């Protein structure tokens, strides 16, 4: 079985699980595809790279935050290949990538590669012997799986996140459970606030089965600039010495430097690592 077939198997298995939960949700909610507070769009399965979990590379699932569909506010989205019907909506990360290439998978901090660079540095510290790609973020993306744990987008003309909203996340438990069951991540990288919220849902025991969980800040300018301040002068940051010298926004580079400054004191062998 080649890499393409493995990806198809993972994504097909995810589709089966998502379709089943989606049909149950619609049956309970008068045919609605999503909660009343959300855009009426089916949830998206994870993007699974072609080399996911192959060779010496452990199975890594990276969670970003919540879906953002504010760009279709009061617009006809049926002409978009990744949103034209329920099947396409569930596969939108894959279809969006096929249309836009690069690291574009309909997830903001992956589209712009910022979360990819932060995750790559974390994995370098956590598993230095693993052969994660350093040449390009596109190659690295093909070695991991990525998704939003927030499967729905708040119905609003502007992007609204909900990391602490337990009620909302309870509605997504079946889909997140499907991600964990199908992908069986050895390493889960997830924003700390979202993880803490999920541990108050029915996912508590399932999350306890993940061998390594890395809790991070959301890779956005404001939280990093506020809470991940570095002490090293910028001209002496580690960015010139690491092999993955990917050109990304400054806040991601700051987060990489913040981790580097604390690398020796972080308990990398713990099951839950807080960054």
pLDDT-derived band at 76 (thresholds 50, 70, 90) equals confident
- Per-domain boundaries in the chain: 3-274
pLDDT value for 245: 87
Mean pLDDT of 151-164: 93
Mean pLDDT of 220-232: 89
Mean pLDDT of 232-248: 86
How far apart are the C-alpha atoms of 116 and 136, rounded to whole Å? 10
pLDDT at residue 162 greater than cutoff 80: yes
Mean pLDDT of 123-147: 91
Question: What is the side-by-side order of every strand in the sheet holding 145-147?
Answer: 47-48, 145-147, 60-63, 187-191, 212-216, 272-274
pLDDT at residue 1 greater than cutoff 60: no
Mean pLDDT of 50-56: 89
pTM of the model as a whole: 0.94
pLDDT at residue 4 greater than cutoff 70: no
Mean pLDDT of 102-109: 95
pLDDT value for 236: 85
Number of neighbouring beta carbons within 10 Å of residue 29: 13
pLDDT in tens, 20-40: 999 999 999 999 999 999 999
């Amino acid at each position: 079985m080649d890499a393409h077939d493995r990806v198809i198997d993972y994504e097909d298995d995810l589709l089966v699980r998502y379709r089943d939960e989606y049909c149950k949700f619609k049956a309970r909610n008068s045919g609605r595809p999503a909660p009343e507070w959300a855009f009426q769009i089916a949830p998206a399965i994870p993007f699974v790279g072609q080399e996911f979990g192959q060779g010496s590379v452990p199975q890594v699932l990276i969670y970003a935050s919540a879906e953002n569909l504010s760009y279709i506010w009061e617009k006809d989205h049926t002409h978009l290949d990744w949103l034209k019907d329920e099947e396409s909506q569930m596969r939108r990360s894959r279809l969006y990538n096929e249309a836009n290439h690069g690291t574009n998978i309909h997830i903001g901090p992956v589209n712009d590669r910022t979360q990819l660079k932060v995750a790559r540095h974390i994995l370098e510290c956590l598993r230095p012997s693993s052969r994660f790609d350093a040449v390009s973020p596109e190659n690295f993306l093909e070695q991991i799986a990525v998704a939003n744990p927030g499967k729905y987008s708040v119905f609003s003309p502007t992007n609204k996140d909900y990391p602490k909203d337990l009620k909302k996340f309870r509605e997504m438990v079946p889909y997140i459970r499907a991600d964990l069951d199908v992908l069986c991540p050895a390493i889960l990288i997830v924003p700390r606030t979202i993880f803490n919220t999920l541990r108050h849902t029915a996912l508590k025991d399932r999350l306890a089965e993940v061998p390594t969980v890395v809790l991070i800040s959301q890779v956005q300018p404001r939280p990093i600039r506020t809470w991940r301040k570095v002490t090293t002068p910028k001209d002496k940051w580690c960015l010139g010495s690491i092999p993955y010298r990917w050109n990304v926004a400054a806040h991601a580079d700051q987060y990489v430097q913040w981790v580097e400054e604390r690398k020796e004191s972080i308990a990398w062998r713990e099951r839950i690592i807080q960054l």
